[in-house]
Structure 1
């Protein structure tokens, strides 16, 4: 009887929904990253290839090879992009 009670209790804990939040965790982290992100000011020199100054995705050319990005600079559109990461620990950024 004790085992059945423990099993039922464990199932109840696992199936209890967590507190609902208005934002998904990924949206909350994105908002946090955008708040703390630095502002990027970029100056370009028209005498050089200015497309090389656009912050873009590593795989803008459709592959994950970094040794051919310079050669593919004129062949693919470059959409300005930035990467971000948020880490939550027990001592930093607890909701």
Structure 2
């Protein structure tokens, strides 16, 4: 699974300090949820994470939980301060 903060560069140009705090908060939450579902964070891209799961079912369940928790977090914030995090999945037999 890969995550990416949508509009990160634009947000950085508007308010770098706030954007860095928000991305750190979001990526910390995403990494915690990843580990709870048995995943491994392989790499940070700065505004996203590359994660590995042994099970596609666990990866999708993790992604759904990430969405739920990120939405809950965003609802407690001023709307223009929340980052939008996109999720993408790939699957392969190795």
| Shorter-normalised TM range | under 0.3
Larger Rg: 1
Larger helix share, 1 or 2: 2
